[in-house]
Amino acid sequence: MPAFGLYSHIRNNRIRSGLLLAGLFLLVYVLTYAGALIAEAMTRDDTLDGYLRGAFGGLLTAFPWVTLGTGLWLAVAWKFHQGMIALLTGSHRVTREEEPKLYNLLENLCISRGLPMPRLSVMESEALNAFATGLNEEQYAVTVTRGLMGALTDAEMEAVLAHELTHIRNGDVRLMVIAVVIAGVVSFFGELMFRGLTRMSWRGSWRGGSSRPSSSSSSGGRKGGGGAAAIAILIAVVLILLSWFLSILIRFALSRSREYLADAGAVELTKNPDAMIGALLKISGRGELANVPSGLMEMCVDNPRSGFADLFATHPSIEDRIDALVRFAGGRRPEPAETVPHITGRPDADPSPSGTAPPHGPWG
């Protein structure tokens, strides 16, 4: 497992961020071309080649306005995404006075690596999870749920905080925010186009439809007929679907290795692989955040998936992550409580499994 602070990983994430931004604009231009193609097919009679060339001209005309609009979307996301996340999750920022132990753990980790202190927030949820957000040093924030605070020991909470700090340092947080923005832009405009197309189709306003027969079609005056218009609209629909699919695929294509690297970074920061393993075991199966978009779940410590959905999971399974910590970081799996004999008559006997933490930490 690569060590924390792997500079090649940070460099690769910066390159991916640039490619994602370029991909955002490319997909929006594809959607613009699809919209222009639909408009061409619905407003005039021509051959398929004429529709395609006309749509390209429409794209060139709209190019500066589309670029400006997409840039404004990015600017709004850059400036206000933290506030949007706070509204979606109900999280609130906490100070040292409000959560001294949690705040001190995060601050000590930052001091040990010379990292700027991110904002610390708490989400009032019984789920066990945590996530980091932000696009630059002024915006970075680490959020933990109230349930996580009540379930983890000090050492386990420190490991989770170190995991999120590693995501920030490695550039994973910025990468995921940009990927979510891309999917949001494409989904928004794609849905607008589909709604408009559906409404116009029901009204029978496109020339290839049976609800608006043209007298020129019977006299042979139309160049392409309804068939060319229908094909042009079909091509546009395929382009819209392809853009939407690619925007989702971009998020799934982000390497799962970032979670292994963040786990490794937590171990290097805390020198305690057992604490990271203990935290993952407690989080497993209890991390689902209610009423939270999937894009935000992809930023969490655990994003539970199962069955067919696991093919598109952004996180490796908890079991795989624990196996990696055991194999490469010297971690130990805690033994099941029932396999540890209870020795009586010895004052130093410990009935709890070796290496396991108490079920609840002093956070509630």
Rounded to the nearest 5 percent, the helix, strand and coil shares of the chain are 65, 5, 30
Alpha-carbon gap, residue 234 to 246, rounded angstroms: 18
Q: Given the structure tokens 């080649």, which residue do they identify? A: 49
Q: At a CB cut-off of 8 Å and minimum separation 6, what does 329 contact? A: 1, 263, 264, 267, 273, 276
Alpha-carbon gap, residue 243 to 99, rounded angstroms: 44
- Classify residue 194 as exposed, middle or buried by CB count within 10 Å of its CB (0-12, 13-18, 19+): middle
Residue 173 and residue 133 in contact, taking contact as beta carbons nearer than 8 Å? yes
Residue 33 and residue 53 in contact, taking contact as beta carbons nearer than 8 Å? no
164 is catalytic: yes
Any idea what DSSP says for residue 352? S
Strand partners, 55: none
Nearest to 278 by CA among 350, 360, 349: 360
Alpha-carbon gap, residue 337 to 353, rounded angstroms: 6
Per the residue annotation, which of 164, 191, 259, 338 is the catalytic one? 164
| Residues designated as active site | 164
